[in-house]
Chains A and B, each alone.
Chain A
């Protein structure tokens, strides 16, 4: 009797609730606290605000509302894995791990769980080989592309030849910081420049030795693969020794506003790569009016339009476009993670589409395929204008040297396939 009553009550409750509303669940593994919060907060704000805009303006994606599940990782790998485990059960459609360390941990887990991962400009570079890494995508560009883009930019600056030039690489002494070395070594042989490597130990608060060495050796250019406090200290130390800032180029994780503002006017002229152009897009005005003014901003609103905010927004746009593509392919609006993976693999970002979305030229045009999960690999060079406090795009998107990066991706991914007993192929 008791069981019957309970069953009846449950049934009545279900009927009273009506049909369950489908949601597109997107976790945001953010880091708003700790030493890297200055980078994590604007990215997360941009990521969430764009989905909030889609909910407010378009009723979500394909008629389905987006629900963000935020989980604080503190940029800590263990916490990142905990966040993944805690959120995947909610129906997570796509993960943006936002840390190379977390990415390496999630690659086997997400592959087993069949949830796609998007590591935009970070993570495991050879994941660009989609036949080995079926569930991992790193479009529009990766670290090896970035190294090649930087060298191509310098080639362009030097009339097509770097023969006899010296390039110093100042890098975070970690797996992340060492990523470009192999590519740069190959490019060094190819173009005849001398590569000098200077490792900086975590966290990078003290870099006197490295910059004294640069002062002694006087390289023509300094490239930097830095993160967190290492960036601010490096920019300050470069200014201290009088290194020409226009010859100092950081990668795209060393080119946000907070990387240069502590050095004040001394940072003027410093350059960095970027995978997304930062200008005043129409979509930002929409976010301001429909999200921020409505009191639904993810943060305090102060990051709107900053480099990492725009990158977070760009990442959200790419995720939203992949979901829309998945809905189109499968003919359903309530898509599953496997369907989103299909959408990511069929993604095509065109100039017309970016304009339609109010983000004209935010990124390069690219398409994804089973074989290529890495996109075009293009990046641009931007320069810090300290007087106006803005990053100014200096170039259009620059193509990396695929003849250098493709064999490296193939070699590394096939080694991974061999170690992990993976038979390369499309799903």
Chain B
């Protein structure tokens, strides 16, 4: 096999892996939109906030340390202990659940029945508020995520595949972190599906997603379901924040990963978990393959961002609800 062909395969494999990371971000959007019809602009910031909180707890950082020091003239930054990763993850999940409750209690409870655009605007406000709170709480420096996640290309895969091509082929490069992310994403999606299919709360969540009014009429608490889906979105945000933060350190540009999720949502649909996964994979492979075959050789490169949106736009024209979204039927 020619080296070019094999490198094309390598690009597709890495595109699939990148797609999984995009899908992780898109999942959070889908969960909230499906249950409440809210497009959560703050999903990217939630990923940032969750990752900041995880590192802050692990490192024993004093929350709001700068604020406390400025007000009281103290000089406290760290508690002097470190929290094991699993315990820190558990605390972070609790904080994300608390955040979900607060969002429901102080924001959306007061906006029930409002137009979707109002709810969307509320999430924009929420995004900036949460970013500011994250800054005040944990500081704006770049934090290293010491979860012990593997980094670097898999030497085993490289060695096994090096003989497939000629001297110009160096074996497939597959990032070990991407492999872990794929595994984690698979576990996450299976867990969500099992939760939605086989638990009482999951079925209630699906009922609300299908028909708010009908769910209310059989005694399902809308408030509880909203807290539940925001909590799940918070947990998904934590996973996304960890996977992206492991690549770059936990820093404020993490909130921009939401931009990678938008074309995935446009393509996969806003209401489908499988849609988010398949959409992520199509966008990941599509943008990487385009960059490899056309973008880098003929267009000067850096085509991935706009190509992802263009690809999503093409799908949108022919299937406005996305590949797996619910068909839009307006009855008069």
In this complex, which of B152, B254, B255 has the most chain A Cβ atoms within 10 angstroms of its Cβ?
B152
Q: CB within 8 A of A200: which of B142, B254, B256, B302?
A: B302
**Which residues of chain B are within 8 angstroms of A198 by Cβ–Cβ distance?**
296, 301
Does B291 lie at the interface of the complex (its beta carbon under 8 Å from any beta carbon of A)? yes
Does A208 lie at the interface of the complex (its beta carbon under 8 Å from any beta carbon of B)? yes
Annotate B212-255 by CB proximity to A: 1 below 8 A, 0 otherwise.
00000000000000000000000000000000100111011111
Q: For residue A391, give the distance in angstroms from its CB to the closest CB of chain B.
A: 16
Does A240 lie at the interface of the complex (its beta carbon under 8 Å from any beta carbon of B)? yes
Tell me if B18 and A206 are in contact (CB < 8 A): yes
Does B288 lie at the interface of the complex (its beta carbon under 8 Å from any beta carbon of A)? yes
Annotate A258-280 by CB proximity to B: 1 below 8 A, 0 otherwise.
10011110100000000000000
Q: For residue B247, give the distance in angstroms from its CB to the closest CB of chain A.
A: 6
Tell me if A229 and B251 are in contact (CB < 8 A): yes
B residues 133-149 with Cβ under 8 Å of A? Answer: 135, 140-142, 144-145
Tell me if B292 and A209 are in contact (CB < 8 A): yes
A residues 146-200 with Cβ under 8 Å of B? Answer: 173, 197-200
**Which residues of chain A are within 8 angstroms of B320 by Cβ–Cβ distance?**
none
Annotate B162-192 by CB proximity to A: 1 below 8 A, 0 otherwise.
0000000010010100000000000000000
Tell me if A209 and B304 are in contact (CB < 8 A): yes
Stretch of B6-14, B94-102, B104-112, B311-319 that contacts chain A: B6-14
A residues 239-261 with Cβ under 8 Å of B? Answer: 239-242, 258, 261
Bound complex: CA A32 to CA B132 (Å)? 12
Return the chain A residue nearest B291 by Cβ. A209
Q: CB within 8 A of B175: which of A32, A203, A232, A240?
A: A240
**Which residues of chain B are within 8 angstroms of A35 by Cβ–Cβ distance?**
251-253, 255-256
Q: CB within 8 A of A258: which of B69, B249, B288, B305?
A: B249
Tell me if A209 and B257 are in contact (CB < 8 A): no
Q: CB within 8 A of B244: which of A41, A205, A239?
A: A205
**Which residues of chain A are within 8 angstroms of B248 by Cβ–Cβ distance?**
205, 229, 232-233, 236, 262
Bound complex: CA A228 to CA B255 (Å)? 13
How many residues on the B side are at the interface (Cβ–Cβ under 8 A)? 45
Does B151 lie at the interface of the complex (its beta carbon under 8 Å from any beta carbon of A)? yes
Does B206 lie at the interface of the complex (its beta carbon under 8 Å from any beta carbon of A)? no
Tell me if A197 and B142 are in contact (CB < 8 A): no
Tell me if A229 and B253 are in contact (CB < 8 A): yes
Bound complex: CA A264 to CA B148 (Å)? 11
A residues 346-374 with Cβ under 8 Å of B? Answer: none
Return the chain A residue nearest B152 by Cβ. A240
Does B34 lie at the interface of the complex (its beta carbon under 8 Å from any beta carbon of A)? no
Stretch of A76-84, A211-219, A324-332, A400-408 that contacts chain B: A211-219
**Which residues of chain A are within 8 angstroms of B256 by Cβ–Cβ distance?**
35, 203, 205
Q: CB within 8 A of A262: which of B77, B142, B260?
A: B142
Does A338 lie at the interface of the complex (its beta carbon under 8 Å from any beta carbon of B)? no
Annotate B72-98 by CB proximity to A: 1 below 8 A, 0 otherwise.
010001000000000000000000000
B-to-A contact residues, CB < 8 Å = 7, 10-11, 14, 17-18, 66, 69, 73, 77, 132, 135, 140-142, 144-145, 151-153, 170, 173, 175, 244, 247-249, 251-257, 260, 288, 291-292, 295-296, 300-302, 304-305
